[in-house]
Structure 1
Amino acid sequence: MKISDIQYAILNKHVISFYYFNSELRKSEREIEPLRLVFKSHAWYIVGHCRDREEIRIFRLSRIKHLKVTEETFERELSSDYLLTSECKEECNFPVLKLKFSTEIAHRLYDEFQEDQVCLCDDGNYYVTVQYELNNWTFNYLLSFGKYVEIIEPEIARTMLKERAADIVKIYM
């Protein structure tokens, strides 16, 4: 897949089809009217009208396989007031996570989070407030920070991460 193919489809209003693998690696075949390319949190996404779901959906490019630009065209436009987060229905229900990071990992924080999500506090730690789904992707991502991150709240997320960390420890016993 080439990003230039997606740009062509957006600019010329061609429907695209592809196989999509969600965060749980479930494969589905999709046909969308691509409306915008977005770069968010170190990844490219296509925003488009999904013909299967009959709504605006967001697809991560790295999870798209066998992309085809079809000859079929469409007329749909993305509204000018569209915000990436406001249109994603699932994200609206995601819990707010409060995370504490030590200074040893500070170099990653401003690369991976928006500036208004990061706060350096008087105790010398960085605090980040984000909204994430409590799924495997989120916990694997948080584990990539190793011992330099602590989930402050919600308590359920602390418990879930602790359980995953305990499972990792069992492998090495």
Structure 2
Amino acid sequence: MSRTKGYSTVERLFYILQHLTNHEYATASELADYCKTSTRTIYRDMAKLEELGVSWHREGRFGYKLLSKPIQQNGRLTKEEWMALTLYPMLSEGITSGEHPFHLSYRSGLEKVMTYVQKGESDGALGERIRLHARPKDPAQINVMPAIIPAISENRTIKVSYYSIHRDQRTERKMDPYYLVPREGHLYVIAYCHLRELPRVFRLSRFEKVEATKKTFTIPKSFNIDEYLSQRWSIISDDTNTTFKVKFDKVASRYVLEEDFHVDTEREPQTDGSLILRTTVKSKEEFLRWIRSYGIRAEVLEPESVREELAAECEKMWKVYSEKKQEA
């Protein structure tokens, strides 16, 4: 399992323990390769583990062997700690602040994890029943995440290989990662792109390689993440405001009424059960993709130019499907 450079001492200790638990022996050279560091650093890390009460011994050419595992009787994660580490960060911001109501559970849970909680010691049953991820984890995302999170935390510039699906090309570039933002089941990095010399939005799953540099950055005081993302229907901006007026029939209206949006909307229920929605967005294409998902249950009333655009699109679709029917 290859790993990127730049791990902290705590992270290396965790990975060393993980590796030694899953293997009977491991040499200093193997551990150095696993953690992407030097054998000299591994020697220091092993001495640190011994100071922390981890028992191990070295058997000649076979290397290190773990004799005891650093699991204390109170090493088990409580339900509150598990929730603070997994669920609450997704539902509320500021859990790392001492003012957050679940901060103490977050801290105690994090300390247990970082002293290596044995697999199965946490409340696995609860974790299995609360399925926070609707899709399998993307291996590429798992590989780049350990490099991006410390870079965001330490304000470090990163070198990346990024695939642009719009241009269908890969580029090597440097960027300053400002924020990690979830949208519609995906994670996006808001970063200053040195290539474009502008803050840009990058989808995390399209990062193919990430390497932290020694260069640090400071987020400009003039940059406000809320202002930057304002009026985006989801995450992408086309830099042009478009005001929409859309009518949803009585079936679709129930679903539209219960949704939470990233932009301000006016929703007016009608006497016949339908719904009129008004909003102004900088993401025309994203908004129209959402409208199309409702099919004939949604009708764009304004602007007229978009009505004409959708009408022409429907005519093309009619020709495609009618021609297929004639061929059959």
Sort the TM-score into its range (normalised by shorter chain): 0.7 to 0.9
Q: For the residues of structure 2 that align with 1:68 and 1:139, how far apart are their CA atoms?
A: 33
Displacement, 1:156? Answer: 1.0
Paired residues for 1:10-89 under 5 Å: 10-14=152-156, 15-22=158-165, 24-29=166-171, 30-62=173-205, 64-79=206-221, 81-82=224-225, 83-85=227-229
Q: Deviations over 1:73-128 (max 9, x none)?
A: 32222537432335999544232222222232232564462473141323433314
Indicate the structure with greater helix content: 2
| Amino acid of the structure 2 residue aligned with 1:35 | Y
Change (3 A) 1:87 1:133: closer
SS across alignment from 1:172: helix
Identity of paired residues, percent?
Answer: 22
Indicate the structure with greater strand content: 1
Residue equivalent to 2:240? 93
Find out whether 1:144 has 2:290 as its counterpart. Answer: no
Q: For the residues of structure 2 that align with 1:150 and 1:87, how far apart are their CA atoms?
A: 21
Residue equivalent to 2:311? 162
Change (3 A) 1:114 1:54: closer
Q: Greater CA radius of gyration, 1 or 2?
A: 2
Q: Deviations over 1:40-59 (max 9, x none)?
A: 45543211111011121222
Decide whether the 8 Å contact of 1:132 with 1:138 is kept in 2.
no
Alignment TM-score, normalising by the size of structure 2: 0.44
| Amino acid of the structure 1 residue aligned with 2:212 | T
Displacement, 1:9? Answer: 2.1
Change (3 A) 1:112 1:169: farther
Alignment TM-score, normalising by the size of structure 1: 0.76
In structure 1, the gaps of 5 or more residues are none
SS across alignment from 1:162: helix
Relative CO higher for 1 or 2, CA cutoff 8 Å, sep ≥ 6?
1
Residue 122 of structure 1, aligned match among 258, 265, 270: 270
Change (3 A) 1:102 1:68: same
Q: For the residues of structure 1 that align with 2:163 and 2:215, how far apart are their CA atoms?
A: 21
Displacement, 1:147? Answer: 1.1
Displacement, 1:4? Answer: 4.6
Which deviates more, 103-112 or 41-50?
103-112
Residue 255 of structure 2, aligned match among 99, 103, 107: 107
